Every structure is written in structure tokens, then in C-alpha cells.
Structure 1
Amino acid sequence: MILSDRDILKRLEKDDLVIEPLDINCIQPSTVDFHLDRQISVFSNWRVGIIDLAKRLNVAEIVDIGRSGSFIIHPSEFILGSTIEKVKIPSDIAAKVEGKSSLGRLGLMIHATAGYIDPGFRGNITLEISNISRIPIKLYAGMRVCQVAFILMTSSPINLYGSKKLGSKYQGQKGPTASKVWKEFKK
């Protein structure tokens, strides 16, 4: 069951669901709009010829566009962004990140595959942003960039995201966080 604005507000008041900072005007009928942070992780394609998933690799650099700055994402370009908002997801809720319709209609994709947030997650949400149009798109720090829906689960999971047993790689992440898939290959 997806939480309505009324239920989102109740959970925020209860303080088990946390969104910081929260702009009350960003609460929609069944989602909350989140904003683009000022740091962008830009891939440096010239640094490597291939990405080896089993090896730790730095293929990006962080660009700080400032609080009121902008960034142009070119056609077919892929970057990592982050939400200004930090979230704390309670044990009986999962969340789903979706792009904004107005941005999608211009060819801006907000997440490649990682649109799901597990119960127990804490941190900023990393966004996998790509421009699938043929025209450069100018992004602005602080703009509404995605919407998050909160889903009430039928029961709490045995292990929350962040538990030692799961080896959660992104708990507590801040800003656009690079892939840590290489950790899955370590023995």
C-alpha cells in the first residue's frame, strides 16, 4: 500500500520516517518531491578503457556547482547526482524513487536501475542521471529532481538495510556515491 500525503505526514510527525530538510510544500498526494544537491559526479571516460566490476576504480570526479549553480548534461551523458534531502526509512516502509514527469518529457532520466530504497536505509539518495535526448539539458542545484513514494510493507523484514548480515554498501551515504560493486567480488 502506497502512503497518501495524509499518511506521510502522520509518519513524519511520529518521527520514524525522517526527511531532512523537509519542504512541506513538496508533499504531493502520494509522493514527496526531492531536490538536486550541488555536487555532481562526472564520469571521466578517458581515464579507463573498460570498467572491471571486480576492481575498485575511480572513473569520476566530483564537481561542486554551488548552491545556485547549474550543470549542463549533454546527450548520452551519464552522471551521478544526489538529493539535498537525507532520509531515514523505518522498518515497515520501503520507498521508490521516480523521475519527475516534466523532466522525463525532455529526455532526462533520474535513475538507471536503482529506484528502490530498503527499510532501514539512512542517507542521501544517489541519482543515476542520464540525458537520452539529442539536446543538452541545464540542471540547477536545488531544483525538484525526483519524487519518492513510500510503501507500507505487510510486515517488517528479518534484516533491515544496514545490518551486518546483509553487508549493505551504501548505508549513511552522503552526496553522489560511486558504485561499490567491487566489494561483492572480494573473498
Structure 2
Amino acid sequence: MSVLGRQRLIAAINSEDPSTRLVVTPLLNKNQVGEASIDIRLGNDFVVTRRGNLQAIDPATDDPRLVRYNSRHYANFGSKFFLHPNELVLGSTLEYVKLPPTLAGWVTSRSKWGRVGLVIATATAIQPGFGGTITLELLNLGEVPLVLYPGLLVAQIILSECEGAEPYNGAFAGQVDPGHGKISADKDMAFWTKP
């Protein structure tokens, strides 16, 4: 399968057929569509994990204390959000993205941000048929805090054709803000975690 270039990306966005249309909204600047990717912006919602006295996050348990160590933050446009070294924060894209079942995607850092230590995704795949905002796993690998502003172009989506896929209807379908997944909900968890 081939990666979609600019002309194919524009054609998918402008498709009149809802079954083949790629939705990326709001697309605030036509220059967000690059040679083979679409630049996407940082949204306003963040989930910060506070340091606590948990020994570990164990996928075999549903520890209720995990909820207490997450706090939600909303940052207005123009306000600063500080991402400290070695800190992992969940953010979301400003754009709502809807892939047709004929496209799959990957989200990755923009080079400008990667070169100062910002990693925006540790789970990069976007399944065919996914619709929602994209959760960004923001990680600062640098030595100093990074100042982030909602609306900045921090990531990019690379899309390719996909044949024979079923539209995504998993746990994150339709999400519009960042959130943690429930690791313990994996179907084969009991097999691998019980002695």
C-alpha cells in the first residue's frame, strides 16, 4: 500500500462520497496539507498523572487508586502549558479526524519539535474508520521544560491505503478528549497474568 501524497490527500478531503471522505476539521490553514502528511494542532485538554505512592501499574488489577493520580486540565488559547523533563501527559488534537475504511494512518512528531525532545505519540496507529480527536502521548525527553500552547502544530498524520479492513469501533471510537485506556480490559489478560 502506498502513502498518500498531497494531491491524494486533498482529493480525499474534498471527496463528495461520505464513504471515502477524509475529515480533518478544523483545517485552519491549507498549508497543513504537506507533501505526504497533514500537520495537526495541539488541543486544549490535558490529562496529567500526579506522582503518587503506587508501586507499579499492574495490568492484572483494576486499582481504583489510579483514578486519583490523574487530573484534567484545560488550557485556553494563548496560555502556556509546561511539560517537564521525563513527564508524560496526555493531550488531544484540536482537529477531529474521521478516516474512511479505505485509509489507515500513523501520527508522528514534527521534526521541529522532535529535535527539542518532544515525543507526541507512543501508540502511533490510527485504525481505518476511526473518528474522534487523536490522543497524543506527550513526553519531554529533553533536559529543560517545554512550553506548549494550544493550537501549535506539534504532530503530523501520514495516511496510506488499506484494503479489506473493518471500520474501527473499539474503546476510543468517537473520543473527543484524552483519556487512559483500561489495560486490564484486554481479552486475553487473564491467560497471561494468572499463575
Q: Could you state the TM-score of these two structures normalised by the residue count of structure 1?
A: 0.90
Cα separation, 1, equivalents of 2:53 and 2:74: 20
**1:8 corresponds to which residue?**
9
**1:97 corresponds to which residue?**
107
**1:143 corresponds to which residue?**
152
Q: Deviation above 2 Å: which 4+ runs of structure 1?
A: 47-50
| 1:150 positional shift | 0.9
1:129 to 138, 142, 145: 138
User: Alignment partner of 1:38: what SS?
Assistant: strand
User: CA offsets per residue over residues 148-176 of structure 1, 9 Å max, x none?
Assistant: 011012x231x2211xxxxx111011111
Does residue 55 (structure 1) correspond to residue 57 (structure 2)? The answer is no
Unaligned runs of 5+ residues in structure 2 are: 191-195
How many residues are matched?
A: 179
Identity of aligned residues (%): 30
Larger radius of gyration: 2
CA contact (8 A) 1:73 1:138 kept: yes
1:33 to 30, 36, 39: 39
User: Alignment partner of 1:28: what SS?
Assistant: coil
Cα separation, 2, equivalents of 1:161 and 1:141: 28
User: Alignment partner of 1:148: what SS?
Assistant: strand
1:85 to 89, 92, 95: 95
Q: Which amino acid aligns with 2:164?
A: S
User: Alignment partner of 1:103: what SS?
Assistant: helix
Cα separation, 1, equivalents of 2:116 and 2:55: 31
2:173 to 155, 163, 171: 171
User: CA offsets per residue over residues 95-121 of structure 1, 9 Å max, x none?
Assistant: 110101011100111112x11101010
Cα separation, 1, equivalents of 2:86 and 2:124: 20
| 1:180 positional shift | 2.1
C-alpha RMSD over aligned residues: 1.7
**1:165 corresponds to which residue?**
none
| 1:178 positional shift | 1.2
Cα separation, 2, equivalents of 1:69 and 1:6: 35
User: Alignment partner of 2:14: what SS?
Assistant: helix
Pick closer, same or farther for the CA change 1:92–1:130 going to 2, 3 Å: same
CA contact (8 A) 1:33 1:146 kept: yes
User: CA offsets per residue over residues 17-54 of structure 1, 9 Å max, x none?
Assistant: 11111122211111110000111111012163321223
Cα separation, 1, equivalents of 2:77 and 2:54: 31
Q: Could you state the TM-score of these two structures normalised by the residue count of structure 2?
A: 0.86
Pick closer, same or farther for the CA change 1:170–1:47 going to 2, 3 Å: farther
**2:164 corresponds to which residue?**
156
Unaligned runs of 5+ residues in structure 1 are: 163-167
CA contact (8 A) 1:2 1:150 kept: yes
